[in-house]
Chains A and B, each alone.
Chain A
Amino acid sequence: MSEAGGGGRGWLASGWQPTVALAAAAGTAALLLFLAVALHRPDLVVIAAPLVISLVVNLARRPGTGVSAVLRAHASTLLEDQGTTLTLRVTAPESADLVRTTTRAGAWMELTGARATRCDQMPASGPLIVPQAARALRWGRTRSGSADVTVSAAQGLFRFDAQARSTPVRIVPLRERFHAIDAMPQAAGNLGAHRSRRPGDGTDLAGVRPFVGGDRLKRINWPVSLRTGQLHVTATVSDRDTAVMIVLDSSIDVTSRSVTPTGGSLDIAVHAAASIAEHYLHSGDRVGLLDHAQPLRPIRPAAGRAHLDRIVDALLDVTPQPSSGDYPLPRVLARVAPRAMVMLLSPLLGAARPQRAVEIARAGHPVLVIDTLGAEAPTDEAREWTDLAWRLQLLQRSADIDRLGEHGIPVVAWRGAGSLDEVLLRLSRAVGAPRVRT
Chain B
Amino acid sequence: MTARITAPRPALTAVLVRLGVLLAGLAAILAQPQLHTVPTAVMLIGVVLAAAFPARIGATVAIAGFVLAWTTAYGWHVTPSAPRTVFAAAALYALHATSSLAGFLPLDARVDVGVLRRYALRCVPVVIGAAVIIGVNYAIPRFAGSALVELAGLVGVLAVLGIASWLLLRSRSTSEPENRTNR
Contact = CB atoms under 8 A, between A and B. Distances in A.
Interface of A: 2, 4-6, 13, 15-33, 35-37, 39-60, 62, 64-68, 97-98, 100, 102, 105, 107-111, 114-115, 117-121, 137, 150, 152, 155-160, 257-258, 261
Interface of B: 1-4, 8, 11, 55-57, 59-60, 63-64, 67, 70-71, 74, 76-77, 79-80, 82, 85-86, 88-90, 92-93, 96-97, 99-101, 103-106, 108-112, 114-115, 118-119, 122-123, 125-127, 129-130, 133-134, 137-138, 140-141, 157, 160-161, 163-164, 167-168, 170-172, 174-183
Contact of B57 (A20, A28, A36): A20
A304 B179 CA distance: 52
Contacts of B180: 2, 4, 13, 15, 66
Contact of A64 (B4, B125, B178): B178
A115 B108 contact: yes
A56 B112 contact: no
Contact of B8 (A28, A66, A115): A115
A121 B118 contact: yes
A152 B134 CA distance: 29
B104 A6 contact: no
B111 to A, nearest CB: 4
Contacts of B164: 26, 29, 52, 55-56, 59
B1 A107 contact: yes
The 6 closest A-B pairs by CB, nearest first: A156-B100, A59-B167, A66-B179, A50-B93, A53-B129, A24-B60
A20 B176 contact: no
Given A59-B168, A60-B167, A158-B171, A119 B182 contact: no
A109 to B, nearest CB: 8
Contacts of A57: 125-126, 129
B115 A98 contact: yes
A269 to B, nearest CB: 18
A405 B134 CA distance: 96
B97 to A, nearest CB: 6
A31 to B, nearest CB: 6
B104 A98 contact: yes
12 contacts: A4-B180, A13-B180, A45-B137, A49-B133, A53-B130, A53-B133, A56-B129, A62-B171, A109-B3, A115-B109, A117-B110, A152-B104
B103 A156 contact: yes
A156 B133 contact: no
Q: Interface on chain A toward B: helix, strand, loop, or mixed SS?
A: mixed
B114 A121 contact: yes
Given A13-B180, A41-B79, A257 B2 contact: yes
B63 A28 contact: yes
Contacts of A156: 97, 100-101, 103-104
Given A4-B180, A13-B179, A54-B126, A31 B67 contact: yes
Given A15-B175, A56-B164, A100-B104, A68 B126 contact: no
Contacts of A36: 157
Given A6-B183, A18-B172, A57-B129, 9 more contacts: A42-B137, A45-B133, A45-B137, A46-B133, A51-B93, A54-B96, A98-B105, A119-B111, A159-B104
Contacts of B115: 97-98, 119-121
Contact of B130 (A17, A21, A49): A49
A374 B130 CA distance: 73
A23 to B, nearest CB: 7
Given A21-B96, A43-B79, A120-B115, A49 B137 contact: yes
A121 B167 contact: no
A47 B100 contact: no
Given A31-B67, A42-B140, A59-B164, A51 B96 contact: yes
Nearest to B163: A56
Nearest to A48: B89
Given A121-B118, A261-B1, A26 B168 contact: yes
Contacts of A13: 179-180, 182
A5 B180 CA distance: 10
B76 to A, nearest CB: 6
A30 B161 contact: yes
A149 to B, nearest CB: 12
A45 to B, nearest CB: 5
A66 B55 CA distance: 22
